[in-house]
Structure 1
Amino acid sequence: MKDGLRSGENLLALADEGAAMSDSAPRLLISLADDEGNSVSVYVLGRSPRWTAGLDAEIVVKTPFVSGRIDLALYVARLQDWADALDRLDAGEDVAWMTMSSGPSIFIQLTGERDCPEVIVEDESGSMVTVRVPTSGCSVPTDAVAGISVTADGHLLGVMMVCGHHIDGATLYVDSDDVSKQVKVGSWTADRPLKPGLATWTLDSPAAGWTATRSLASLTARTTYALYGWTKDNSWSANHISFTMADRDRLTPGEVRYASISDNGESVITVSIADFKAKACQNR
């Protein structure tokens, strides 16, 4: 999890560099991320106009579900505190940064609520919002299967087969190995939790029983997208399906594209809606 973090020596050098920054591009100070689109980063934006020893910075949180940013003031003592935190992290300790000052705080727990590493960003003195982000070796158990289809009049259709518990909503994002490019392009919340069984809804137009918390952005050719399902309490998720616009164009009404799991592994297949309903929850 320490990949992307800077050493104490580099941090202090960055403070000197920051004093000379003006309109240059933001500098990445901290990056904590996994391969599922979750990340917490700290960027140095430049020299603070309010005080000579300070740097303007921001904390950026990105997940397929929620994203946000908050302003942050940095100075040499805080950078030194982060260098000390890295040493403790190397020693296998949980760490906290900026807990004794106004503004946001960052906590890193090597064994979080789901027995995996997580980063907690807390803004108790400002927005009073706390965000908890898993960053490595942690995944929410799957209890559903997501797929896509099309309607007779050409609308893109989300398809969700819930196997045993429930799903609260779904999100569509750009599927990329580069975490910084995993941008959310649409998100929908079911008016009532989806119980075991089949559910469908249009992604590119209003759908009864669903609220678009983020309306679908324009989808482009040669971009891979992924649709997955989630619960509000992160107790369950849906196995995602990746697709391009070319994959979408090959679908006909009544067909579902989804990722099937068998003894030979996972493979993307296209089947009838009836077959999807009958077989999607097998081997899960």
Structure 2
Amino acid sequence: MSAAALSGCETVAPAGATGISVDAHGRPVIVFALCNDHVDGATIYRDRTNGDPLGQDSVSVREWDAAAPVTPATATSAELNTAAPSRSWRSVGGEEPLRPGLRYVAYGWTRDNTWYTGHVEFALDHLSALKPGQVLTQTYVEATDDYVDTVQSYVQFASEACA
């Protein structure tokens, strides 16, 4: 996903970052670091596999609407447990189970496409090493022109996302 996406003639602006954590049972939890404005929902998608219809590069796996906008002031309490969402989140559309061996991408968005949070890539296989409170993100390494997985506390994640 690019740092900016086009919607009509407007550019969607970054409002923060998305990370992935786990609950006490090891299930994926989407977390946000909001630096400005808000997000209204979250989506997980994956690359198309051979079993998917042709013409799609990616497949939306799950999508949620936030009961109230997630803002910088509410981001720390707005985590989204993908297996057992709180009443702060409402599932929208179908739900494809997350499967080992596939790469997923999660991000936050606004209904009017004015803001988004930078995405996080993850695979279920890699989440087993995470402990609750730890956040997986990707960090750009200029020397190798590549992104590497980074695990840090939520406080570090939020601080670096908005630095």
How far apart are the structure 1 equivalents of 2:55 and 2:106? Answer: 16
Instruction: Name which one, 1 or 2, has greater alpha-carbon Rg.
Output: 1
Query: Runs of 5+ in structure 2 lacking a partner?
Result: none
State the 1:216 CA deviation. Answer: 3.8
Pick the structure with more helix per residue.
1
**Structure 2 vs 1, CA of residues 179 and 144 (structure 1 numbering), >3 Å: closer, same or farther?**
farther
TM-score normalized by the length of structure 2: 0.79
TM-score normalized by the length of structure 1: 0.47
Correspondence 1:183 to 2:59? yes
What per-residue deviation string (whole Å, max 9, x for no partner) do you get for residues 60-95 of structure 1? xxxxxxxxxxxxxxxxxxxxxxxxxxxxxxxxxxxx
State the 1:155 CA deviation. Answer: 2.5
- C-alpha contact 1:167 1:229 (8 A) present in aligned 2: yes
Q: State the match for 1:174 in structure 2.
A: 46
SS of structure 2 residue aligned to 1:275: helix
- C-alpha contact 2:104 2:121 (8 A) present in aligned 1: yes
State the 1:262 CA deviation. Answer: 7.4
The sequence identity of aligned pairs, in percent, is 30
How far apart are the structure 1 equivalents of 2:19 and 2:95? Answer: 16
**1:147-226 matched pairs, under 5 angstroms:** 147-175=19-47, 180-196=56-72, 197-198=75-76, 199-214=78-93, 216-226=95-105
- C-alpha contact 1:204 1:216 (8 A) present in aligned 2: no
**Structure 2 vs 1, CA of residues 216 and 160 (structure 1 numbering), >3 Å: closer, same or farther?**
farther
**Structure 2 vs 1, CA of residues 112 and 152 (structure 1 numbering), >3 Å: closer, same or farther?**
closer
**1:213-252 matched pairs, under 5 angstroms:** 213-214=92-93, 216-252=95-131
State the 1:179 CA deviation. Answer: 6.3
Compare 174-183 and 271-280 and name the one that shifted more: 174-183
Counterpart residue identity of residue 56, structure 2: S
How far apart are the structure 2 equivalents of 1:254 and 1:219? Answer: 21
**Structure 2 vs 1, CA of residues 112 and 216 (structure 1 numbering), >3 Å: closer, same or farther?**
closer
Q: State the match for 1:32 in structure 2.
A: none
State the 1:214 CA deviation. Answer: 3.3
SS of structure 2 residue aligned to 1:180: coil
How far apart are the structure 2 equivalents of 1:144 and 1:259? Answer: 14
State the 1:254 CA deviation. Answer: 1.2
How far apart are the structure 1 equivalents of 2:66 and 2:102? Answer: 26
Q: What is the alpha-carbon root mean square deviation over aligned residues?
A: 2.6
Correspondence 1:274 to 2:155? yes
State the 1:247 CA deviation. Answer: 1.5
What per-residue deviation string (whole Å, max 9, x for no partner) do you get for residues 226-269 of structure 1? 00111011101110011111112221111100133577675431
**1:6-155 matched pairs, under 5 angstroms:** 112-114=8-10, 140-155=12-27
SS of structure 2 residue aligned to 1:152: coil
How far apart are the structure 2 equivalents of 1:215 and 1:249? Answer: 25
Q: How many residues align?
A: 150
How far apart are the structure 2 equivalents of 1:150 and 1:215? Answer: 22
Determine which structure has greater relative contact order: mean sequence separation of CA pairs < 8 Å that are 6+ residues apart, divided by chain length: 2
Query: Runs of 5+ in structure 1 lacking a partner?
Result: 1-34, 37-110, 115-138
